[in-house]
């Protein structure tokens, strides 16, 4: 009888320790990614509690869900400005689906980062679709065209604070995190003394 109780105690202890470890992993994954508790639990279960694989799993799932959100109407949002030293500035219109998301710190930070990027970098076009056909035709397929698009198209430009992430990637990550379609509608850049 005593041995049976000892075995039961050991099993309960192991179960408790596993639950505590799982809870700690969920908390850590949530802190790292900002994902919901249930999403973190599913990610850890799918990856045998491997934190790095769970982060990759969440990224993949988030990016898959981004595709579903991209077609949704986005008419809320904000106009954000950035002025650097009184000589350089930018205005952007960043849209989302609801006023609720437009007021979040994450959305406002994204808008600020994009406005700052626009002021510093000299993008000519918002997206590939905005590049005139004659300009695109002047750049042959392959690396030359990719390099041109990466420098001229705002959504393709590497962000000024993180060259591994494009402005478009930042927006897709925000869509995944905030759960709404986000659209950079338009931008304008101003430099003192320049024309156009």
Q: What's the confidence (pLDDT) of residue 53?
A: 85
As to burial, measured by CB atoms within 10 angstroms (0-12 exposed, 13-18 middle, 19+ buried), residue 85 is exposed
Spell out the domain ranges in the chain: 2-69, 76-191
Q: What's the confidence (pLDDT) of residue 64?
A: 46
**8 A C-beta contact, residue 158 and residue 165:** yes
Q: What's the confidence (pLDDT) of residue 160?
A: 93
Q: What's the confidence (pLDDT) of residue 27?
A: 79
> From the first residue on, what is the mean pLDDT of each consecutive set of 10 residues in the chain (196 residues)?
57 54 77 70 85 78 54 84 94 94 96 97 94 87 88 95 92 88 95 80
Distant-in-sequence, close-in-space partners of 4: CB < 8 Å, separation ≥ 6: none
Which contiguous run of DSSP H or E holds residue 143? helix 143-152
Q: CB atoms < 10 A from the CB of 191, how many?
A: 14
Q: Which residues pair with 159 in a beta bridge?
A: 162
Specify the pTM.
0.66
Q: What's the confidence (pLDDT) of residue 184?
A: 97
Q: Hey, what CATH topology would domain 2-69 get?
A: Helicase, Ruva Protein; domain 3 (1.10.8)
The residue to which tokens 């350089």 are assigned: 88
Within its chain, how far is the Cα of 179 from the centroid?
11
Q: Hey, what CATH topology would domain 76-191 get?
A: Tetrahydropterin Synthase; Chain A (3.30.479)
Distant-in-sequence, close-in-space partners of 79: CB < 8 Å, separation ≥ 6: 91, 92, 93
Q: What's the confidence (pLDDT) of residue 74?
A: 80
Strand ranges across the sheet with 76-84: 76-84, 88-96, 183-191
Q: What's the confidence (pLDDT) of residue 124?
A: 95
**8 A C-beta contact, residue 182 and residue 110:** yes
* 77 vs 97: CA distance, rounded Å: 8
């Amino acid at each position: 009888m005593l041995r049976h109780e000892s075995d039961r105690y050991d099993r309960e202890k192991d179960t408790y320790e596993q639950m505590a470890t799982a809870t700690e992993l969920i908390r850590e994954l949530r802190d790292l990614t900002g994902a919901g508790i249930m999403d973190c639990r599913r990610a850890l279960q799918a990856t045998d509690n491997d934190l790095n694989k769970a982060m990759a799993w969440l990224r993949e799932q988030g990016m898959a869900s981004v595709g579903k959100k991209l077609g949704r109407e986005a008419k809320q949002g904000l106009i954000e400005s950035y002025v650097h030293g009184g000589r350089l500035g930018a205005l952007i219109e960043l849209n989302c689906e609801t006023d609720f998301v437009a007021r979040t710190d994450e959305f406002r930070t994204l808008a600020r980062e994009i406005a700052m990027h626009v002021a510093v970098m000299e993008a000519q076009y918002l997206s590939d679709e905005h590049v005139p056909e004659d300009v695109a035709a002047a750049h042959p397929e392959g690396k030359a065209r990719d390099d041109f698009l990466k420098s001229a198209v705002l959504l393709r430009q590497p962000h000024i604070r993180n060259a591994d992430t494009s402005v478009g990637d930042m927006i897709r990550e925000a869509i995944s995190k905030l759960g709404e379609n986000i659209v950079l509608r338009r931008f304008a850049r101003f430099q003192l003394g320049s024309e156009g």
